[in-house]
């Protein structure tokens, strides 16, 4: 038997055929808005993408044990009902009921970040661990909590908002409406903003040549590259970013004490350039770090497939 995983994005719908043990066999994708911008249109594209993938693989619907869907928002996973989404028009939408019109395959839903965390826990860097956290460093800070092999999402399905823990009271304004949220200091967006601010103060920085003189072309990799070239401005930006990221991760570890914490997203591509100093910062500050077994801090390994695989394994 196989499973289907769907990762609903604001631009594309990615769909994968996944084995029972979490291996990706075949993928398919379509633009999210290839029909229209109503809930039924988006649901129709998801359903078509899944059913076309089954045919492409030469399988029958009877070969598929379930279809799992990762939604960028809050869902009632027991009912297959979308409660709230930020970037697609599915608020208050019974997605499972739509799918049941066209297929008898059981449908499961969860938050997309939770799906990615589950994928990493079962088939990625967290394989074999009972408790894990996945933290994704992108436009914001997302992630998921896996306890005893299951997603933890609270009684109302809205738990695990990793980026919306305040680390600076009265700090930067966050998109959620609060000030000082972790993601306003530790996301890829945050390090890009901090890099641009530092460049304006230091016109001598090598960062200007790395971006070709166009500050709008700055990305999250550039301060690390500048640091490696001996640039003091880049070094200062990276050190401050690791401090901000580290403080949040210390909080996560102190609360959950997971066996493993996995970092995903573009910033995590820095690998040991990021992890080595981050581990040092975190281990010096985590509760009981010198007496208790330490949480492993590693990079996630499934990349963009994590959400598809996790959704399939719901």
Give per-residue pLDDT as tens, 261-299. Answer: 999 999 999 999 999 999 999 999 999 878 899 999 999
Q: What residue ranges of the chain are covered by domains with CATH 3.30.420.40?
A: 2-105, 127-299
Q: Is the separation of the CB atoms in 118 and 3 below 8 Å?
A: no
Give per-residue pLDDT as tens, 101-140. Answer: 999 999 999 999 999 999 999 999 999 999 999 999 998 9
What is the fold, at CATH topology level, of the domain defined by 2-105? Answer: Nucleotidyltransferase; domain 5 (3.30.420)
What's the predicted TM-score (pTM) here?
0.91
Architecture of domain 127-299: 2-Layer Sandwich (3.30)
Q: Is the separation of the CB atoms in 6 and 46 below 8 Å?
A: yes
Q: What is the pLDDT of residue 288?
A: 86
Report the distance separating Cα 135 and Cα 299, nearest Å. 10
Q: Which residue carries 């499973």 as its tokens? A: 3
Q: At 143, is the secondary structure helix, strand, or coil? A: strand
What pLDDT band is residue 86 in, cutting at 50, 70 and 90? Answer: confident
CB neighbours (10 Å) of residue 64?
24
Could you say which DSSP state residue 61 is in?
Answer: G
Q: Is the separation of the CB atoms in 191 and 179 below 8 Å?
A: no
Q: What is the pLDDT of residue 147?
A: 96
User: Which of 83-87, 96-100, 146-150, 247-251 is predicted least confidently?
Assistant: 83-87
Whole-number Cα distances in Å, 13 to 42, 112, 122: 9, 12, 22
Give per-residue pLDDT as tens, 143-171. Answer: 999 999 999 999 988 889 999 999 999 99
Q: What is the pLDDT of residue 226?
A: 98
Q: Is 146 exposed, middle or buried (0-12, 13-18, 19+ CB in 10 A)?
A: buried
Give per-residue pLDDT as tens, 52-72. Answer: 999 999 999 999 999 999 998
What pLDDT band is residue 175 in, cutting at 50, 70 and 90? Answer: confident
Report the distance separating Cα 133 and Cα 143, nearest Å. 7
């Amino acid at each position: 038997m196989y499973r289907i995983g769907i990762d609903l994005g604001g631009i594309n719908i990615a769909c994968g055929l996944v084995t029972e043990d979490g291996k990706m066999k075949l993928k398919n994708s379509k633009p999210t808005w290839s029909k229209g911008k109503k809930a039924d249109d988006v649901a129709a594209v998801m359903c078509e993408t899944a059913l076309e993938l089954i045919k492409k693989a030469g399988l029958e619907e009877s070969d598929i044990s379930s279809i799992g869907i990762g939604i960028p928002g809050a869902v009632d996973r027991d009912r297959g009902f979308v409660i709230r989404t930020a970037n697609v028009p599915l608020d208050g939408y019974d997605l499972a009921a739509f799918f049941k019109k066209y297929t008898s395959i059981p449908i499961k839903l969860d938050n997309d970040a939770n799906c990615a965390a589950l994928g990493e826990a079962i088939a990625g860097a967290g394989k074999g661990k009972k408790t894990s956290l996945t933290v994704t460093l992108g436009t914001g800070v997302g992630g998921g909590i896996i306890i005893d092999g299951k997603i933890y999402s609270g009684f109302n399905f809205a738990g695990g908002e990793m980026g919306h823990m305040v680390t600076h009271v009265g700090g930067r304004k966050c998109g959620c409406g609060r000030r000082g949220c972790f993601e306003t200091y530790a996301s890829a967006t945050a390090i890009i903003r901090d890099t641009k601010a530092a460049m304006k103060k230091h016109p001598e920085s090598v960062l200007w040549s790395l971006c070709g003189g166009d500050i709008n072309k700055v990305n999250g990799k550039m301060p690390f590259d500048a640091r490696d070239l001996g640039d003091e401005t880049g070094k200062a930006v990276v050190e401050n970013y690791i401090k901000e990221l580290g403080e949040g991760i210390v909080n996560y570890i102190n609360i959950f004490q997971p066996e493993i914490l996995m970092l995903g997203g573009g910033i995590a591509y820095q690998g040991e350039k990021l992890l080595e100093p981050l581990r040092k910062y975190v281990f010096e500050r985590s509760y009981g770090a010198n007496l208790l077994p330490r949480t492993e801090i590693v990079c996630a390994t499934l990349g963009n497939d994590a959400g598809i695989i996790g959704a399939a394994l719901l």
